[in-house]
Amino acid sequence: MPEKQKHFVVVGGGTGTSVVLDGLKNYHLNLSAIVTTADDGSSSGDLRRKFRMIPPGDVRQCLVALASGNFGYLNERFQKGFLQGHTLGNLLITLFYQKNGGNFQEAVDELLRLTGASGSIIPMTLNPVTLVAELRGGRKLVGESKITSSLKIGNELEKLYLIPRYPKANERAIAVLKNADAIVVGPGNLFSSIIPNFLVNGIKKAFLESCAKKIYIANIFTQPGHTDNFTIADFLAILEKYIGKDVFSHIVYNTKKIPKNILNRHTNDIIKKQIFLRPPFLSDPRFVGGDIVSLNPRVNLADPIAKIRNPFLHDPKKLAKVLVSLV
C-alpha cells in the first residue's frame, strides 16, 4: 500500500511563503498555503480599493511558485501606461474574481487548476482587512504599506491588530490546519506577513489545537527599523506574544555566510544588517541549522519597493530538503 501523503501547511505572506512552496512542490506532499490578506500598497492595494476585493499580490506569488511550468511572467509589472505598476498576475486574479461572481477562493482554485499547480492557496480571510500598528504615545500606522515602510516599528510598537478587530477566518484555513502533519511558519516580514495570520482568532485557535509538527523558519537577515539587532530568540518571543504560547517543535536557521564579493554587488540598507549565523541557545535541540541561503539574489527593479527588499532569499531546494527530513 502506498504511503499516505504528508500534509504540509505553510503560513505567511508572499515572497517567503512562495520560496517554501517552490521547494516543497517537488516532493510527494499535500501542500496548502495560508496567506495574509492585509496588503494595501502598490498594485494589490489599488485593485483592492477599486474592486473591493482582498489583495491579490501574496496569492499571486504563491500561485507562480506552485504552478507546473514557468509562470514567472505573472510577476512581471507593466512599465508604462495606465497599467503601470500592475503585475499581469494581479490583473488575472482580478479578472477571475469577477468571473466567479466575487468569490475570491473559487477564482484562486480555478487558476490553480489552469496552471497545473500542485497544492492549494487559502487567503486567511475572504474579506479585506486593515493592519494597524499602535506605537508608543498612542500614534498609529494604519495600513500594511505604511507599516512595512516605517523605520520605527521595532522600538516603538505596542501592539498590532486588524480592522475589523475580529475578522471571520476562511473556513478552509481552519480545516487544513486541523488536518496538517506539519505547519511551517515563515520566513517573511514578521510584522506584516507572519503575525497578521495569527490576528484572526479562528486561525490562531486552529493552529494551537493542531497536533501537527510546528516549524518556524528564521529569516536570514534582520529588517531595518523592524528587527534591528534581533536574535532568533527575539523573533520567537514576539511570535509567542501573538500566538499565545511557544509551540514550535523545530526552528530552522541558516548557517551559510554569503561571500563578500556577492554581498557587495547587491548592497542596500537591508544587506548592511545582521545575518543570522547561529541560534541563541546551542543546547536547544529544536534548532536545526544548515546551508539554506540562495547565492543567486532575486532583483526586480520594476518592483515599487525593491529598495527595501532583501534580494537574498532561502534556497527552495535546500530548504525543502530540511523541512521534509523533519517530518
Between 263 and 65, name the one with better pLDDT.
65
Count Cα atoms within 13 angstroms, Cβ side, for 175.
8
| pLDDT for the residue numbered 271 | 57
Mean pLDDT of 301-321: 77
How far is it, in rounded angstroms, from Cα 290 to Cα 326? 13
Where are any strands of DSSP class E within 107-227?
120-123, 130-135, 140-142, 157-163, 182-185, 213-217
Stretch among 5-9, 175-179, 228-232 having the lowest mean pLDDT: 228-232
How far is it, in rounded angstroms, from Cα 30 to Cα 277? 32
**Per CATH, which fold does 6-126+169-325 belong to?**
Rossmann fold (3.40.50)
Which band of pLDDT confidence, cut at 50, 70 and 90, is reported for residue 221? Answer: confident
Which band of pLDDT confidence, cut at 50, 70 and 90, is reported for residue 278? Answer: low
Domain borders along the chain are 6-126+169-325
| pLDDT for the residue numbered 270 | 55
List, in order, residues 6 or more apart from 256 with CB less than 8 Å away: 290, 291, 292, 293
Q: Which has the closest alpha carbon to 198: 210, 185, 179?
A: 185
| pLDDT for the residue numbered 158 | 95
Between 151 and 47, name the one with better pLDDT.
47
0.85 surpassed by pTM: yes
Phi, psi of 290 (to 5 degrees): 180, 170
Which tens digit of pLDDT belongs to each residue from 107-121? 999 999 999 998 999
Residues of the chain with pLDDT > 90, as a percent, come to 76
| pLDDT for the residue numbered 154 | 83
Asked if 182 contacts 77 with a C-beta cutoff of 8 angstroms, the reply is: no
Parallel, antiparallel, or unpaired: how do β-strands 250-254 and 182-185 relate?
unpaired
Which tens digit of pLDDT belongs to each residue from 42-76? 999 999 999 999 999 999 999 999 999 899 999 99
**Count of residues in the chain:** 327
| pLDDT for the residue numbered 322 | 98
